Amino acid sequence: MSDEEQSSPEETRDLAHADVGIVTAIPMELNPFIGQLEKRRSYTGGKFKFIGGTFEDKVKVVVVQQAVGFAKARTATQALIDAHTPDWVLSAGYSGALQPEMGVGDIVVGNSICDQHGHTIKIDMNMEPNPKTGLRVGRLLTADELVLKVDDKRKLGEEHQAIAVDLESLAVAQVCKESQTRFMAIRSLSDDMSEDLPKEILSLMGETGTMRLGAAVGAIWNRASSMKDMWHLREKGMHASRRLAAFLNMLLPKLVE
């Protein structure tokens, strides 16, 4: 009997393989979901943090956190695919509304993704929107930078016929297309079109995607009302994260059926 014939299925299967890989920028975006994973473990690969575990004891999930930005998202997605060969890759995290009827915590599923330079990727998926439950399906815009002002969001929504904006989804989609990996963009709205975002948010993001204490103290010192703004932003972000976790809980078992 050959060595191959003597090997058990447990010995021959790829233990690093994941059913679903998720690319996210900021730890806060997926913390409620990650907290549910069983057999959870984390490691650092290159410049990225990977967190793996099982969902409902049947879906193997690996999350890579890459901090904010298009280039980092591309590199992290490729590292995820190389290391864990996932059957599906999701770009998951926060997004901003580009349509006035949308609210914080709405879930956006992209059926196409574009950028501000004429690039577009269509996504072959079949999911019906349900505005009553906050499920939106439509085009996502991957912008060059954070969009803070309501007027700018309105212009971008009209120009690109998009319903929400983020900073990474097109980068993840491009790598998945190149590697022929199945892909979805799942975003939760952390800000709507009722008010501008505080300008201090631009200085608060560190290289790891975490809030920098020194920058936060500086923001409060320079504008006392920014403390209230940041707390309000955090509350909306936590609500968006919980909504995203609930949607992923429903989606992941269906992806592996």
Assign 141 a pLDDT band (cuts: 50, 70, 90). Answer: very high
Predicted confidence (pLDDT) at residue 84 exceeds the cutoff of 60: yes
Do the Cβ atoms of 66 and 76 come closer than 8 Å? yes
Q: What is the pLDDT of residues 205-255, one digit of tens each?
A: 444 444 444 444 444 445 555 566 666 778 898 999 999 999 999 999 999
Q: Exposure pattern of 51-86 as b/e (b: 16+ CB <10 Å)?
A: bbbebeeebbbbbbbbbbbbebbbbbbebbbebbeb
Going along the chain from its start, the domains and CATH numbers come out as: 18-255 (3.40.50.1580)
Say what the pLDDT of residue 226 is. 59
Say what the pLDDT of residue 209 is. 41
Do the Cβ atoms of 77 and 102 come closer than 8 Å? no
pTM of the predicted structure, to 2 decimals = 0.86
